[in-house]
Amino acid sequence: MHRGRITVCGLALVAALGLAGCGGGGADSGGGARSQAPAAAMDTSTVRTSNSPLGTVLVDGSGRTLYLFTADGKNTNSMDCDAACLKLWPPMEGKPKAGDGVDAGLIGTTRGGGRSQVTYAGHPLYYYADDQTAGDVKGQGVDGVWFVLDAQGAAIRTAAPTTSATEDGGNGGYGY
């Protein structure tokens, strides 16, 4: 009887360890879908500058390019855009801090939909979902309304080089 209890406990331990190994904490847990980046590795609270094919542009602490939407008003976010818009153009959210190359006095937030969106020089900041790695500028000029920003908070309207341009010719940019 004692031997049976040990066997059951041993099997339970092996099963628990096996399940723990399936937890999927990592950049790719085998689901085939590419994630933006592991949460632990991303620094999405910092606004800083980085060199890009378009010049010096605003990025987050992980190097992901930040964009403005020209139809947004000063300190007015578009958190009310539909699900497709938010999926393609997710807002930079949270409590921001200044990194290298930016003016801390230009960093702020605006609220909408119960959330806080980061602003720079009054422009709400967004990511572009098709930018998969640090330095990508695939959202540049999409629909003629989405642009990267310089360190002063102005839109850089230069066309992105063809190697970094959107492959769909700007279609599907959801010009909200």
DSSP string, 20-34: HHTS--SS--SSSPP
Domain parsing of the chain, residue ranges:
46-156
Taking the chain (176 residues) in consecutive chunks of 10 residues, what is each chunk's mean pLDDT?
43 35 32 38 86 97 96 76 88 94 96 85 96 96 96 96 52 46
Give ∠ CA 131-136-138 in degrees, rounded to 5.
65
164 vs 139: CA distance, rounded Å: 9
68 vs 131: CA distance, rounded Å: 15
Residue-level pLDDT at 149: 98
137 vs 7: CA distance, rounded Å: 58
| 3-state DSSP assignment of residue 7 | helix
